[in-house]
Amino acid sequence: MQTVSLTAERREGIGKSVTRKLRVAGTIPANLYGVGGDPVTMQVSNADLIQIFRFHGSNVLVELIFEGEEPILSLIREHQVHPVSGKSVHLDFQRVQLGKPLNVDVPINVIGVPPGVKDFGGVLEQVIRTVEVSCLPRQIPDSIEVDVSKLQINDAIHVGELKVENVEFLVDDSQTVVMVTPPRLSTEAEETEEGEEGEVAEGEEGAEAAEDDAESKDS
């Protein structure tokens, strides 16, 4: 797993008004926790975060740089985003000890085109998009590749078939990762206009709730 550096700044202010001002100013409120030190309330640059997520994703070791202090190795444990705008609203970082295994969710990357889809009109369904594993911090894979290029209709790949060195899977071996299902003979009915309006209203309420939840972590 790659390691990236991120400048951080301790902060004392908490509460909704403080965190909203931070976001307007281009910084994101965050917390640091874990063994080896006291919890830290801090803030990080939104622009720096965007670069990290763009080039490395969220599953990356982050070396937090506080002015005048020793760097702190950490892992992003929670990244809250606004459900409508997609902008970051809060992060949680966990301190990392290099010699101690971590439990982390690793993205699954499906590669290839199944013959069951290409030749027989089947549908490739990815049942899970991440899988929880345990391993040392430096051995956390960026992603786990699953080759589906040999799957026929009704074939599937399960967690027990995934092989990654130095990684212990924490999910039942029988858990389906991907499968090819037979062609769908009918399509679902179109949503009614009333149903669509209900979803929009629900999305707006969810957006407000998500931001309030993020702000409550800083209060």
- Find out whether 75 and 96 touch, Cβ atoms under 8 Å: yes
pTM of the full structure? 0.72
> Fold identical between 3-96 and 102-181?
no
Fold of 102-181: RNA Polymerase Alpha Subunit; Chain A, domain 2 (2.170.120)
Average pLDDT, the chain: 86
Domain 3-96 CATH (choose: 2.40.240.10, 3.40.50.300, 3.50.7.10, 3.40.190.10): 2.40.240.10
pLDDT digits (tens, 9 = 90+) for 28-45: 999 999 988 899 999 999
Domain boundaries, the chain: 3-96, 102-181
Strand partners, 94: 33, 75
| Mean pLDDT, range 73-77, rounded to an integer | 94
Which of 18-32, 63-77, 186-200 has the least mean pLDDT? 186-200
The whole-number pLDDT of residue 187 equals 46
Laid out side by side, the sheet with 102-111 consists of: 144-147, 102-111, 130-135, 168-169
Confidence of residue 105 (pLDDT cuts 50, 70, 90): very high
Where is pLDDT greater, at 149 or 36? Answer: 149
CB 134: neighbour CB atoms within 10 A? 13
